[in-house]
Amino acid sequence: MTVFSSPEQLSEIRNILANYIRLPFSHDTIPGAIMEAVLAHIHEAKVLNTYDFADVIKTSKKCGWQIKSTKASTPVTWKRAKIPNQLELMKVSEKSKDGLQTLGDAIIKFCNDHAAESLRIYNLDSIGYSRLVIHPNRQVTYFEKLLCTRDNPLIFKGSDFVWRWSVQKNTKKKEQLPALHGFKKSSGKKLWAWHGRGENQLHFSGESEWWPQPDDKHSISFILPSPEEKMSLEGFMDLLSRVESPI
């Protein structure tokens, strides 16, 4: 499957990320834009820089990738999900379980449709998931997963989830409006939080269920360099001064 990196490519990803962290202006996270650039470099692919579901595509192989990079404790923001007929669906959801399920189903359909749109407009056969997770103590996991294909475009099934509104919370700093939570029927675990009364952010906390086992051949684990191993700003400037200018 073309969305997966080879062992050699995984090793190169690890080396690039470790060297990035050694730069004097880097922090203890690796931005998604950096991950997009790294994956595009490794696969000789293209960064889209759009709001489409696919972040990086390789047209010659008809594949693309959705890329996420966060700390382990940070929920993944799937997307700002503005649902068609949102206000009406929200009103109905407050009156019955059927209304709740209808709104939840619309959110899941939104996710699936967004991915299917990238398959269609970029003429892709498959979209993979490229994910960097930064754990405490500088431990890192990077893995790849097949999300959807032209023949099987659905990532999620609405029937797998049940929904309910959270209770509004008031804190000293700000008011937290109720969010719509989606729970996996088989386990009762909360996987989704949709903030439709705010900025429409859709958080996918269930993404941790996708994290790989230690022996997964499509993943790597490593430790990021410590702050003491960072290159000094002076050393970085000296390095740049020794690179021949194109001008």
Residue 46 near residue 59 (C-beta atoms within 8 A): yes
Q: Which domains does the chain have, with CATH numbers?
A: 7-241 (3.40.600)
Q: Could you give the CA distance from residue 98 to residue 14 in angstroms, rounded to a whole number? A: 47
Residue 154, sorted as left (phi over 0), alpha (psi -120 to 50) or beta, turns out to be beta
- The arithmetic mean of pLDDT across residues 164-180, rounded, is 77
Residue 58 near residue 64 (C-beta atoms within 8 A): yes
Could you tell me the pTM of the whole model? 0.90
Closest CA to 161 of 120, 116, 102, 112: 102
- Tens digit of each residue's pLDDT (9 = 90 or more) over 148-169: 999 999 999 999 999 999 987 7
CA angle 208-185-167, nearest 5°? Answer: 80
- 3-class DSSP state of 179: coil
**Measuring CA to CA, how many Å separate 33 from each of 48, 229, 238?**
11, 23, 26
Q: What are phi and psi of 240, to 5 degrees?
A: -65, -35
- The arithmetic mean of pLDDT across residues 56-65, rounded, is 97
- Tens digit of each residue's pLDDT (9 = 90 or more) over 3-53: 999 999 999 999 999 999 888 888 778 999 999 999 999 999 999 999 999
pLDDT at 175: 59
- State both tokens at 227: 């702050």
